[in-house]
Amino acid sequence: MRQLAVIFGLQGPRLTASEKAFFRDANPWGFILFARNIETPAQVKALTQSLRECVGKNCMIFIDQEGGRVQRLKSPHWYDYPSLGVLASGYRENKGQARRAIYLHHRLIASDLRALGINANCAPVLDVPVKGADPIISDRALGANAYQVIDLAQAAMAGLMVGGVAPVIKHIPGHGRATVDSHLALPKITNWVPRLMGSDFLPFKELADAPMAMTAHILIEGLDANQPVTLSSKAISFIRERLGFKGLLMSDDMDMKALSGDLSALTHKALSAGCDIALQCSGKLPSMVRVAKGARYLEGEARRRADMAELCAEDPRDFDYKAALSEYMMLTVEGSHVDG
């Protein structure tokens, strides 16, 4: 059965009868979980099993589990991970130790996710924040220097993939310079593109072999003065050709205020512009129906990229969780152990 080129959220910790019927009929490529879907380990595991039963496939199930401000799994059932900014802060003093901490951070997260049936993580953030930018990125970043971000992002991706979790680099081609939060409004970047190539765009160019990337809902005037990246064939051609990104390209949430218009039309426009997958996070059934109406089935190059991304979520290698957590805690200054 063909899969719709969409990742859907859902409303609560358990599937409703309406959601089951809709997902069975729409057959989306994947799903994404949020805090509203999380209660206990047993409940999350049952939920991911139910989602896969709906589509009859070991589909991709995503989450945003970065650490710090952005983590959907929290205490008392899961470890409270510090932000990447905290881990990256010691890079200048000890690069090897910072790399190791970032690797363990993501390897431990991968183990947490796999135990629940989650096999894709919308991380790491490759955005390079600048002074005066909106704080939406800030301490989520791996540093304020592109070369540091590249180095630590490689460690982050390795930790996830060795743990059987496919990473999603974000937000391509770079959100760190935005002066407004794209959840609330459309950021506009006026800087000269050659300058951005040596800073904002550089981590994405250097990690162009990542299996998946999430677009930034930003307007970059030097790429397209009229359309945000997600909806711009010009910008997406730049990502493919100039940055060399060959993996699966998924949109950021189509419900964010940076985009305006009918969800069906926006979904059609994003996929026509070159996104492989449209992401819709709200879990509201009327919105999901509109996105489904504007979507298309996965086929051709998009299907090939999706298949490759799935291969990056194969069974993890053997892992001593307790030993890794002990080492990780020695390397970090924040965080608290899970009860039990």
Task: Just list the catalytic residues.
Answer: 183, 252
Largest CA distance in the chain: 55
- Return all residues near 34 (Cβ < 8 A) that are at least 6 apart: 9, 63, 64, 72, 281, 283
Question: How far, in Å, CA of 263 to CA of 280, rounded?
Answer: 9
Mapped onto helix, strand or coil, the DSSP state of residue 166 is strand
Helix (H/G/I), strand (E/B), else coil: 63: strand
Q: Name the helix (H) or strand (E) containing 242.
A: none
The structure tokens listed for 67 are 């650490």
Nearest to 129 by CA among 139, 121, 120: 139
What the block records as the tokens of 331 is 């390397």
Which of helix, strand or coil describes residue 28?
strand
Q: Which two tokens stand for residue 326?
A: 């002990």
CA distance 46 to 288: 22
Residue 91's SS3 state is coil
Question: Distance of CA 127 to CAs 117, 145, 303, 326, Å?
Answer: 28, 10, 27, 29
β-strand partners of 28? 4
Q: Which residues contact 168 (CB under 8 A, 6 or more apart)?
A: 62, 120, 121, 122, 123, 210, 211, 212, 213, 214, 250
Measured between alpha carbons, how far is residue 163 from residues 36, 42, 250 in Å?
Answer: 25, 20, 22
